[in-house]
Homo-oligomer: A and B are copies of this chain.
């Protein structure tokens, strides 16, 4: 279960949590029937208020990714893997599309943009360059 929250991002924290849970399910880090971490536990680990985590969980339930088990926790739905893989692709596409659209309309020279993208793409594509042995 891997999380990377950016409190100062313009993207709301609860939205970031939603995406992170979706990514974890899509990548197989959470299987069908598993219970995701509780609102209080996750709130502690991310130094975020439990209410904020709860808001994210309600959104996840609305998406059909988890179902609330009163007194037990939030359980990963049988449909979740397929749903989350589609959602992941959609969200990642959206982010990249917006970034490149902004870059294109900014008038930045194409070769410079291309070089910039290649740089980042290789950076993340290889072994992270720095020893970072953390794996989900």
| A residues adjacent to B (C-beta < 8 A) | 2, 4, 10-12, 15, 19, 23, 26-29, 88-89, 91-93, 95-108, 110, 112-114, 116-117, 120-121, 124-125, 136
Contact among B10, B96, B98 with A103 in the assembled complex (CB-CB below 8 Å) = B96
Question: Quick check: A103 and B117 within 8 Å, CB to CB?
Answer: no
Would A107 and B12 be within 8 Å (CB), given that A97-B120, A102-B92 are in contact? no
Q: List 21 A-B contacts (CB under 8 A).
A: A2-B105, A4-B105, A10-B10, A10-B11, A23-B107, A26-B107, A26-B108, A88-B106, A89-B116, A92-B99, A92-B103, A92-B108, A92-B113, A95-B102, A96-B100, A96-B117, A96-B120, A97-B120, A110-B125, A114-B121, A114-B125
Q: Which B residue sits closest to A96, measured CB to CB?
A: B99
Main SS of the interface on chain A? helix
B residues near A106, Cβ cutoff 8 Å: 19, 23, 26-27, 88, 91-92
Total copies of the chain:
2
Question: Quick check: B120 and A100 within 8 Å, CB to CB?
Answer: yes
Would A95 and B88 be within 8 Å (CB), given that A104-B124, A105-B23 are in contact? no
B residues near A19, Cβ cutoff 8 Å: 102, 106
B residues near A98, Cβ cutoff 8 Å: 95, 99
B residues near A121, Cβ cutoff 8 Å: 100, 113-114, 117
